[in-house]
Amino acid sequence: MTVSEDPAAGLGERLHQLVGQLAAAPVRSITGDGVRATLDIVAKALAEGWPAPAEIPFEIHEVPSGTPVLDWTVPKEWNVRAAYLVGPDGSRFADVADHPLHLLGYSVPTRTRLGLDELRPHLFSMPDRPDWIPYRTSYWNENWGFCLTDRALRALPDGEYEVVVDTTLTDGSLTYAEIVLPATEPAPGGGEPDEFLVTTHTCHPATANDNGSGIAVLTELARHLAALPSRRHTFRLLFIPGTIGSITWLARNRDMVGRIRHGLVLTGLGDRGGLTYKRSRRGDATVDRAAAVALAESGQEHRLVDFSPYGYDERQFCSPGFDLPVGRLGRGQHGEYPQYHTSADDLSFVTPESLAGSFAALTRIIEICDANAFWRNTSPYGEPQLGRRGLYRAIGATMNRQAVEMGLLWVLNLTDGTRDLLDIGARADIPFDSVLAAVDALAGVGLLAREAGPEGTP
């Protein structure tokens, strides 16, 4: 890619290609070399940023097995060398080398010979989807097994089978990656800048939507944020294994979670469904309101759903002890589309258009959160004279004088230090960008002063 190219050109195709690379990565799970190989793909993609590699601090963390993390313990590290079944005639079945989903995740090392009836409890299929391989795991209960299409399962001949599960479960570590892009602007009122947390899970093998799409979009977001000329927030981006990864990160960072002002969990961003935003536990955090505005103005099909303690890592960040303002952005929700957790969640299931649309919605939510602020009218007693400050002359040059004038008047009336710009836009029923334009005009002539906002504002 050359410096003369448009960074937005081919965005969807670029994301789609990265999803393909991630889906083709070695078997990965919540720990192990497959996770490290996945993060290597991300690191390479970051190094190929547009128009030249940005300075992106991509830090890999290794947390030893056995480490206590909140109410959990970091598990043993799992790696796969080979796994397959050998039938009575010597044919191989359910070979993990053919598809990573063939092996039950976290299968313990096993070498044995079993008759078909003894083997059946260790075989998993989907009778209602006879040509798809299911995705199954057994992280916390020692077991072994194979996943295969129901058509293949029903065709297995009677006889004795050789079982080969050449895996290791050893004291190793849990691996995750973190990117921290510091704020470049001072925080209002001094102190530490607010943080914006964006996370995605890295543990699902071979699946494109859940969650190659999330990893690809977060990678692109890192490049986008690193290239910004200024940042009001510190952005913290996490590539973590699901559940145990967020629990581990929270356990290791309890002293700084109070700085997180907004957060998003990214998953399932590439399917053809409409955008879905799941609100934080608070329900009315800035990120919740920003997402509602961004999706409404996007013109894309979308829906907003309330928080529930089921789903992805938002349930850890929104657990009552932390109660962080973290929502989730995706498209089709888990369990709502038949391809979920199956081999049908492949590269053909995600589209460049959906990936690009998801990225646009994500960056717009971030833009709104970044621009949202509290301002105070510096001349609140009576309506200030706008004409002598040149504002009416500027309005006169616009095509919609009345709308712009009303925006100025609403902003002046509502900037009493208790409402942020999202509140003002909602109360005045005017677009967020119109509120911003009015703020810029009024602040430019000294009629508004920015404030830190009420303590504890989400």
- On the question of a cis peptide bond just before residue 309, with omega within 30 degrees of 0, the verdict is no
Look up residue 158 and give its DSSP letter: S
415: tokens are 């900037």
Q: Is 210 annotated as a binding residue?
A: yes
Residue 33 assigned ligand-binding role: no
What is the rounded distance in angstroms from the CA atom of residue 80 to the CA atom of residue 96? 9
* CA–CA gap between residue 133 and residue 145 (Å, rounded): 13
Nearest to 416 by CA among 369, 448, 442: 448
Residue 158 annotated as binding? no
Alpha carbon distance 203, 232 (integer Å) = 31
> Omega into 211 within 30° of 0, i.e. cis?
yes
Residue type, 51: P
CA distance 385 to 391: 9
Q: Name 78's bridge partners.
A: 169
DSSP string, 103-131: BPBTPPPEEEEEEHHHHGGGEE--TTSTT
N-terminal to C-terminal alpha carbon distance within the chain: 40
3 state DSSP class of 27: coil
Distance CA 458, CA 442 (A): 25
Which residue bears the tokens 């208790």? Answer: 418
Q: Tell me the one-letter amino acid at 78.
A: W
Residue 365 phi/psi, 5-degree rounding, is: -60, -45
Q: Which of 94, 43, 133, 83 is nearest to 346 (CA)?
A: 133
**What is the spatial distance between Cα 55 and Cα 41, in angstroms, rounded to a whole number?**
17
Residue 425 · residue 433 · CB < 8 Å: no
Q: Encode burial over 32-58: b for 16+ CB neighbours within 10 A, e otherwise.
A: bbbbbebbebbeebbeebbeeebebeb
Residue list, annotated binding site for Zn(2+): 204, 210, 341
Residue list, annotated binding site: 204, 210, 341
